[in-house]
Structure 1
Amino acid sequence: MKIVLVPSGFKECIDAEKVGLAMERGAKKFDDRNEIEMIPMVDGGEGFAKTITKTKEGEMIYGDVRGPVGDPVTAHIGIYVENGERIAVIEMAAAAGLKLVPLNQRNPLKTTTHGVGELILCALDYDVDRILIGCGDSGTSDGGAGMAEALGVRFMDDLNHTVKINGVEDIIKVRHIDMSQLDPRIADVVIDVACNWTNVLCGEKGVARVFGPQKGATPQQVDLLSAALEHFANLIEKAFSIDMRLTPGSGASGGLGTGLVAFAKATLHPRFDVIKRYIQMEQKIKEADIVFTAEGSIDFQTPNGKIPTEVARIAKKYDKPVVAITGTIGKGAKLNYEVGIDAFISIIPKPTSLQKAMEHASKWIEGSMESVLRQVTIGYQMAKRKPDDEKVS
């Protein structure tokens, strides 16, 4: 049997490559004669830079930057050369991911993307021609203002004093934007951003209301966050004559998509479109007997550009069955049947705490993979049975 594994990571738990290796162990445990192709996938979040850089046989660069709550964190970028271009790969989660925000400090009014700007500066120091930025797994909601500040943008109050951006709440004090000290090297690079195309900056479906609670915001803080991002959109419209409020991808990573467009002249792309350009998978899916994918949670949001359903859409072009291995099965998970996932299974074998589930995730993924393959094989055997062989009651 030809099995293709195209897993995503389990957020704050285990990255895509480790998920894939656990799935591979489970498949071989069932039958080591199976032909297995593992393609770890990243949706712009954790593992994005390492996965693409490894695929392109590039080099990882490490350094300390300001983390989302102000403390130094060790982050990274990838550098590789292709078609005569030097390309840097950045994942915003390395500098401003939710994993870097302690549970007792999860207030998106007080987190910053400053470290993301520092990673961009690092890439510029390596004289790159192009920067690819992955937006995902963010712990911030500052509209990319912190990132812009790191690049040299100054935010001024009504007395023309500089406002330091330590979180989106500081944006409320800003009255105009000073671009005079922006790093001039930004103008010489192409910046592509892989993001969730359905995320927008403002409105009832804006990033504050949709993702603010996931980042620790109370209902009152969600209202403040929404108002601050609306004010930010007004500032950007006044400064650059662009309306980012409902632009597809503008709400990516707490509005970082907006900041990258406004201050770094970046181009936003649906994340899976970008990933497909850098990680070739379609031919392998086409040749498979069955495709397995994985995600930390399957729910009503999964069809909105997340890896399992994007993998399923490719597989259905070639009429390939798709099974998703998941940590949790959430509200509206059945919607995924409508977009090409034929079955999904949770790895959790019994009631447990989140901490224990995370500790045992690798082992449980392995066991779930073996179990699913046993069930799939039974189905194949039944389908291949001739009518004459069936018992007649």
Structure 2
Amino acid sequence: MTEIENRMAVEAHIRTLTILHDALNKKGLLLAEPGRDYGLQAASIPLICPQLVEDLIQTLRQVEFLKYNPKQDEDGVGAIYPASSAQVIGLYKGFWKRHENLKNVSRPGALIKAAALILGYHDYDQSWLTAGLEEDGRLVLTANHICEAFEIWMGHKGKYMNDSYTCCGETSEHSVCELSDMRYFLHCKIDEEQKEIAENSRKATQKILFDAWNKGLIVDDGLLIRLQQAMETVPLITTSLLADLMKKLDMVTFKCDNKPKNEVLNAYPGDPEKSVMYLCPFFWKQSDQLWPGSRFGSLILCASQMLGYSHILETSSPKDPTGQQKWDPMTADDICAAFEHWMVHREPYVEGSYSCCGEENKYSVCRESLMGLQLRERLPEVQGLKAHGPRSEV
């Protein structure tokens, strides 16, 4: 190899080992647990277990690189078994044209494939020898499958800018992605029981939102500016914001995240274009009555984030404020608090009603809540605020 080719090969070697070590560090999110049943989809997804990654690392630590000039115009790498005990990876001329960072058709991917070949995994042209599934229903891996697992299933979808990836915030350039497709396949499957709870929680949350309008606990958009100074400590909800929340919740698709990056999350928004909402382990343990720390509050909080309102823990404000944000800056937590703290019933739901106000509907807000008292004190005409609200109950 030329001096430049040798340097590029050494750099690719170091990057590949760094990527494999990163996968081991994130094994709880990205690597499969041996013996675990991952369902029918495992027949088409290349699941990688920690032991295989360790074997790839051990193999790559021992290899030597040679420039390989085959008679045919081949692209990439090849694993060569010489007569000696040394393991050699031959680098074809196409290797130097590949991407230097992990992505489809990359040098790290090519070296991972070559290491898999040395370990005895077949290439595509020999995959028919082992076509089919393992006893537990998993795909029979080939060297190409293992390469795809890293390049496609665990690769970053965002760009590396300002010392971090835009998709997940990872600061190491040579790494796998905590928010990759592999992570979501392994940990975001929602079972039938969870699906039923999520759908019931959605319907109950929409009933609560409608009830807030029905009881005059929200304000007309035109009155918001007049009330802001008089009620600056109260998070006021407008009719347009309420309508946006109901519309967003109606569009949401639920997925489960058994291992969120932030272990204290109850729910968080996914791809805004797909309106995906991820429900975390704490969500299933939350109360099914509107109260601080309820499932309904979590859905309202997450829906607010999907509308562009920032979480209270975030320091950045929305670049393009919409709706109520234009004239009343507030956070998703403020919106959640308006329902969970300011509109909530002060007494529990017992024997079919709330004793604080006599309301029989469990999924409701309270006329005698702090919000109700504040609005009646500041706005005597509160009963006339329903003209532009939702047309019918969910």
TM over 0.5: no
Higher strand share: 1
Relative to the length of structure 2, the TM-score reads 0.30
Relative to the length of structure 1, the TM-score reads 0.30
Q: Answer with 1 or 2: which has the greater Rg.
A: 2
Q: Answer 1 or 2: higher relative contact order, Cα 8 Å, separation at least 6.
A: 1
